[in-house]
Amino acid sequence: MSDAPLSLLLCTNGVKAGRAALEYGVWLAELLGWPVVLLGVVEQPENRLAVDELVQIAAQQLEAKNIAHRIQVEAGEPTQVITQWAHRERFITVFGPLGRPAWRRFVQGRSFRHLMAAIETPLLYVPRLHLPMQHVLLCLGGLGYGLGVQRLSIYLAKKAGARITVLHVVEPVTLDYPLARQVMENWEHILQTDTPQGRNLRQAITAIEQAGLAVDFKVLHGSPVTEIFNEARRGNYDLIGLGSPYSAHALRHLYLPNVTAEVAETVGLPVLSVRLNRELIEE
Q: Which amino acid is at 142?
A: G
Q: Are residues 119 and 46 both part of a single domain?
A: yes
95 plus 171 within the same structural domain:
no
Has residue 68 been placed in a domain? yes
* Rounded-to-integer distance, Cα 29 and Cα 244, Å: 23
Contacts of 259 (CB under 8 A, 6+ apart): 224, 225, 228, 242, 245
Which of 125, 146, 162 corresponds to the end of one domain? Answer: 125
pLDDT given for residue 189 in this prediction? 76
pLDDT at site 164: 98
Q: Which residue has the higher pLDDT, 16 or 2?
A: 16
Which pTM does this prediction carry? 0.89
Question: What domain range includes position 140?
Answer: 135-281
Reply yes or no on whether the pLDDT at 239 is more than 60.
yes
Confidence grade of residue 193 (pLDDT, cut at 50, 70, 90): confident
pLDDT tens, residue by residue, 251-272: 444 445 688 899 998 999 999 9
Domain C-terminal end among 125, 150, 175: 125
Q: Amino acid letter at 101? A: P
Asked whether residue 130 is domain-assigned, the answer is: no
Closest CA to 31 of 216, 242, 239, 234: 239
The predicted-structure confidence for 119-154, as pLDDT tens digits, reads as follows: 999 999 999 999 999 999 999 986 777 889 999 999
CA atoms within 13 A on the CB side of 220: 18
pLDDT at 178: 57
Do 176 and 233 sit in the same domain of this protein? yes
| pLDDT bucket at 99, cuts 50 / 70 / 90 | confident
Domain final position from 106, 125, 144 = 125
pLDDT number for residue 109:
45
Give residue 203's pLDDT band: very low, low, confident or very high (50, 70, 90): very high
Q: Summarize the confidence of residues 77-105 as an average pLDDT.
A: 85
Query: Do 167 and 111 sit in the same domain of this protein?
Result: no
The whole-angstrom separation of Cα 159 and Cα 200 is: 24
pLDDT at residue number 1: 47
pLDDT over 60 (residue 283): no
